[in-house]
Amino acid sequence: MSTSAPAPVAFTASHWHGTCPLGFDTIRPGDVVQYDDGALVHRACWQREQPRPVCPKCFMQTALNGACGCEDQ
């Protein structure tokens, strides 16, 4: 069993929910959403807000899997 950080449960919005407070865009039926501190937000908007790991070599933010382009050489 994994004990990694619990990710918020994402689900598909079933009706109009108003404005997503993270992206300031409208949550429509069919959008993939989740709760963030009790507010319904888009999963994509939430993921964009998450801090990304920083590469120790070039100090650029890396991809979510920690990969950085500077290590391709």
In this chain, which of 58, 63, 64, 67 binds Zn ion, going by CB under 5 A?
A: 58
23 binds Zn ion (CB under 5 A): yes
21 binds Zn ion (CB under 5 A): no
57 binds Zn ion (CB under 5 A): yes
58 vs 63, which CB is nearer to Zn ion?
58
13 vs 68, which CB is nearer to Zn ion?
68
Helices and strands, number each (H, E), in the chain: 1, 5
45 binds Zn ion (CB under 5 A): yes
Instruction: Give CA–CA dist 46/60, Å, rounded.
Output: 20
- Burial classification of residue 13, based on how many CB atoms lie within 10 Å of its CB (0-12 exposed, 13-18 middle, 19 or more buried): middle
